[in-house]
Amino acid sequence: MQQGEQTTAACPLCSGQDLYPLTWRERRYYRCRSCELVHLEPALRLSEAEEKAVYDDHENAVDDPGYRRFLSRAFEQVTRYRPAPARGLDFGCGPGPALVAMAREAGYTMHAYDKFYRPDPAPLQQAYDFITSTEVVEHLADPLPELDRLWSLLKPEGLLVVQTKRVLDDERFRRWHYPADPTHITFFAEASFIWLARRWQAQVRFPHSDVVTFHRSAV
């Protein structure tokens, strides 16, 4: 199949049908011409057990200063737009919920959910002033239902903060380090987040190259 040819699969974000293939180190991906999302060929995804085994090898300790500095790019958006005391959720907190600890230390009420490490669904049935999701969306095979669910949990004037590296043009994707992690299967472009903002009628901001914020209206 040549790059100009279309595939029959739909985009997992916008459901667009106008996709074209991309190759990264012999692995097949598809890019949507509508929202510019890139996703891995479904047959190449890891099983859940294989996926969790990769996460178990990560060394993201709660008190690791370097990890906290990394997360601070997302957390500073919370402190700027939803100062404490406010109620938040960290979606996909992982085995070392450092951002949860950072928020609680700063005076926030903070809850956590992770399908592997904090699988209790109760936090997904509550309402929040803000939600953070750092280094999570690139792991989602079916991102739209998960993101729509998070958006539905926000109170009026709520804030959603997403941290993930954004895919740029096709040539840079082919040279990118980010797909080297086999659990990274979905890559958002700026256009992908703008598509979401239009769907939600949200205000969207791009404060960092790997951080995006969505602001819910007051009504």
What are the backbone angles phi and psi of residue 113, rounded to the nearest 5°? Answer: -140, 140
pLDDT digits (tens, 9 = 90+) for 150-167: 999 999 999 999 999 999
Residue 106 lies in a domain: yes
CATH number at residue 34: 3.40.50.150
DSSP H stretches of helix in 82-179: 98-105, 143-152, 170-174
3-class SS of residue 180? helix
Q: Is residue 72 part of a domain?
A: yes
In a domain, 12, yes or no: no
Task: Evaluate whether residue 11 is within a structural domain.
Answer: no
Residue 36 lies in a domain: yes
pLDDT digits (tens, 9 = 90+) for 80-129: 999 999 999 999 999 999 999 999 999 999 999 999 999 999 999 999 99
Q: Is residue 5 part of a domain?
A: no
Q: How many residues belong to the chain?
A: 219
Residue 9 lies in a domain: no
Please write the tens of the pLDDT for every residue from 14-63.
999 999 999 999 999 999 999 999 999 999 999 999 999 999 998 788 99
Q: In terms of residue numbers, what domain contains 40?
A: 19-215
Average pLDDT, integer, range 180-184: 97
Number of domains within the chain: 1
Tell me if 163 is assigned to some domain. yes
pLDDT of residue 4: 41
pLDDT beyond 50 at 77: yes
Phi, psi of 154 (to 5 degrees): -80, 140
C-alpha 48/C-alpha 82 separation (Å) is 35
